[in-house]
Amino acid sequence: MTEMNENPLDLLPEVLLAASAVFGLLLGSWLPRARQWLVGMLAVIACVAGIVAASVAAAEPSTTAFGEAFAVDPVTSTSRIVVLGGTLLVLAVSFRPLRGDARESEFYVLVQLASLGALMMAGTQDLLLLAAGYLLASIPAYTLAGFRKDGPGTEAALKYYVVGALLGVLMLAGITVLYAAGRATGYPMLGEAFRDAPKALLAAGAIGLLAGVLFKAGGVPAHFWVPDAVQGSSPPVAALLTTIPKIGALAALFRLGDVVFADSTLPWPALVAVLSAASMTLGNLGAFFQQDTKRLLAYSTISQVGYLLMPVAVAGRSDLAQQALLYYLAAYTVTNLGAFAVVCALPRAHTLDDYRGLAKERPLLAASLVICLLGLVGTPPTAVFLGKLEVFSAALEGGYAWLAVLAAVNTVASLFYYLRWIVPAVSRTGTPGPAEGDRAARYVAYGAAAVSLGLGLAGGPVLDALSGPIIR
């Protein structure tokens, strides 16, 4: 092992977020209820400062912190920017509904802690830190899911927690087995050790590990919590659950595939490819006939994880895999949050039919919805299209042509249910649709749709920035 590098400034975005969370908790207990929004502002400042710090770090050469336990490379930097940017959007849509809530400051603190967990997962180079990141990302999220303390919220939190606890235990068991097989927890050393480790041991460990990470990603077969938790929780929380933890989990999976399992005796790419195929297909099938918008988006996010797993499957086999994954993550985050922002902007609309006539009352909001949903399909020139182009290219280059074909077929299938939502929203007939809603969320929706389009049209520089070497 190289000399210990314990410079906390390498972890500046994470440190800022943690400090802001702790300070916000203290501040919240002193502030009067009408002033609790200050905690939210503090969180916003921490996120913005974190994005700046991450951008500065991204411009510098890759490094590791804390004795190779944490990597600061393009994967981490991109995940930091995307997670913090996503957190900003989540905070923006939650200000209005939480204004004056008895537990307002607690909400902001929990959101920050959940993001911090995702950040840790994205950057970790060590199985034990991965487990810590998992717990940090999960426990605040359980609480957030049940934050409203109503029936569906409680059910959501309970389901989420039970599944999470079970799979978390499996994950810890898997890590133990992998430790036994590789006699280390750091990725670079594990990668060396797994070249000739016993296959059965590796398989058992890897499956346990996958169970936990896939739970955070919301991918098949650890996806059972997604629809209920998303439907039961409030729209801002649902937005958070379907994006932020995924970023960390998929970045972690990519690292595992590229560094740890790439040269191992385990058929890791095939395993991930099968999971990817199952995710996109089952997610789509589940979404087909949903009437509830949040539930539809929940199933859609399961299928999106399938596409995101494609570059993970070819990690190390295709030069395009890394930039494909990171670009798709960024594109998906902004597009999905845009769609959720529309849901947040119309708190009284729950089913697809409630959106009937939206184009007449709020043409800009309807346009944002159409852009975000077509964006999720992958229609050019939105950001996800470019992401899909990269992802398909990576899969074909990595020798997984069947997966690319299946993904194309699934894309068409997904069109069906997104159109079921678009059609009532743009149709003029029927009763006057949803009434007044949340102004801040509306602006977030406009902004996210604009960014989604802009990122698609001007994706060149972004893609360039994503292709730097990963730390091994």
Partner 1 sequence: MLTALVFAPTAVALLLFVLPRRTTPAFFRGIWVAVSAIELTLVIVMWAGYETGGGMQYEERARWIPSAGVGYHVGVDGLSLPLLALTCLLFLACALYSLRENRRIREFAALFLFLETTCLGLFAALDLILFFVFFDLSIVAMYFVIAGWGHRQAAHAALKFFLYTFIGSLALLLGFIGLYLAASPHTFDMVELARQNPLAGRSVYGGLVLLAVVVGLAVKTPTVPFHTWLPPAHVEAPAAGSAILAGVLLKMGTYGFIRIAMPMLPESWRRYALVLVVVGVVSVLHGALVALAQTDFKRMVAYTSVNHMGYIVLAVGAAAATADSSEQARSLAVTGAVTQMVSHGLLTGALFLLAGVLYERGRTYDMTSYSGVAGAAPVFAAMTGVAAFASLGLPGFSGFIAEFQIFTGSLGPRPVATALSVLGILLTAGLFLRALRQILTGPLRLPDAPGTPRAFPDMRAHENLAVVPLLVLAVVLGVAPRFLLDVIEPASRSVLELLAR
Which of 19, 200, 270, 412 is in the footprint of partner 1 by CB under 8 A? 412
Which of 105, 303, 379, 452 is in the footprint of partner 1 by CB under 8 A? 379
Please give the Cα distance from 113 to 120 (Å, whole number).
10
Q: Is 411 in the site for partner 1 (CB under 8 A)?
A: yes
Which of these ranges, 61-69, 126-134, 436-444, 457-465, lies near partner 1 under the rule CB under 8 A? 457-465
Which of these ranges, 172-180, 244-252, 265-273, 400-408, lies near partner 1 under the rule CB under 8 A? 400-408
Which of 160, 225, 261, 392 is in the footprint of partner 1 by CB under 8 A? 392
DSSP E strand boundaries for 200-318: none
Please give the Cα distance from 253 to 245 (Å, whole number).
12
Q: Give backbone dihedrals phi and psi of 269, rounded to 5 degrees, phi first.
A: -60, -40
Q: Is 287 in the site for partner 1 (CB under 8 A)?
A: no
Which of 201, 274, 389, 453 is in the footprint of partner 1 by CB under 8 A? 389
How many residues bind partner 1, per CB under 8 A?
32
Nearest to 195 by CA among 108, 262, 277, 124: 262
| Three-state SS letters, 162-213 | HHHHHHHHHHHHHHHHHHHHHCCCEHHHHHHHHHHCCHHHHHHHHHHHHHHH
Length of the chain: 472
Quick one: tokens of 20? 């802001």
Please give the Cα distance from 210 to 226 (Å, whole number).
17
Q: Is 390 in the site for partner 1 (CB under 8 A)?
A: yes
Nearest to 456 by CA among 448, 467, 445: 448
Nearest to 43 by CA among 107, 112, 115: 112
Q: How far is the CB of 386 from partner 1 (least distance, A)?
A: 7
Torsion (CA) 114, 207, 276, 398 in degrees, nearest 10 = 110
Q: Quick check: 231 and 156 in contact, CB under 8 A?
A: yes
Question: Per-residue contact track with partner 1, 318 to 347, x per CB under 8 A?
Answer: -----x------------------------
Which of 288, 289, 402, 416 is in the footprint of partner 1 by CB under 8 A? 416
Q: How far is the CB of 408 from partner 1 (least distance, A)?
A: 4
Q: What residues between 64 and 93 interact with partner 1 by CB under 8 A?
A: none
Per the listing, tokens 């070819």 go with: 314
Q: Is 203 in the site for partner 1 (CB under 8 A)?
A: no
Between 69 and 370, CB nearer to partner 1? 370
Which of these ranges, 43-51, 123-131, 272-280, 387-395, lies near partner 1 under the rule CB under 8 A? 387-395
Which of 297, 383, 415, 449 is in the footprint of partner 1 by CB under 8 A? 415
Cis peptide upstream of residue 198 (ω within 30 degrees of 0): no
Q: Is 393 in the site for partner 1 (CB under 8 A)?
A: yes
Q: How far is the CB of 416 from partner 1 (least distance, A)?
A: 7
Which of 135, 396, 450, 453 is in the footprint of partner 1 by CB under 8 A? 396
Between 5 and 393, CB nearer to partner 1? 393
Q: Is 289 in the site for partner 1 (CB under 8 A)?
A: no
**β-pairing, 70-72 with 63-65?**
antiparallel
Which of 150, 200, 464, 469 is in the footprint of partner 1 by CB under 8 A? 464
Per the listing, tokens 């996800």 go with: 384
Which of 67, 97, 347, 380 is in the footprint of partner 1 by CB under 8 A? 380
Between 149 and 428, CB nearer to partner 1? 428
Which of 137, 374, 376, 445 is in the footprint of partner 1 by CB under 8 A? 374
Quick one: tokens of 361? 């009352």
Quick one: tokens of 279? 């995710």
Q: How far is the CB of 81 from partner 1 (least distance, A)?
A: 18
Q: How far is the CB of 460 from partner 1 (least distance, A)?
A: 4
Torsion (CA) 378, 382, 385, 391 in degrees, nearest 10 = -120
Q: Nearest 5°: CA angle at 269, between 266 and 275? A: 110
Q: How far is the CB of 376 from partner 1 (least distance, A)?
A: 14
Q: Is 381 in the site for partner 1 (CB under 8 A)?
A: yes
Q: How far is the CB of 297 from partner 1 (least distance, A)?
A: 20
Question: CA 171, 176, 178, 179 torsion: positive or negative?
Answer: positive
Q: Give backbone dihedrals phi and psi of 436, rounded to 5 degrees, phi first.
A: -50, 145
Between 2 and 429, CB nearer to partner 1? 429
Question: 19 vs 13, 59, 171, 251, 391, CA distance in Å?
Answer: 10, 24, 28, 24, 36
Question: Per-residue contact track with partner 1, 418 to 447, x per CB under 8 A?
Answer: -x---x--xxx-------------------
Torsion (CA) 75, 81, 86, 87 in degrees, nearest 10 = 110
Interface residues with partner 1 (CB under 8 A) are: 323, 374, 379-381, 385-386, 389-390, 392-393, 396-397, 401, 404-405, 408-409, 411-412, 415-416, 419, 423, 426-428, 459-460, 463-464, 467
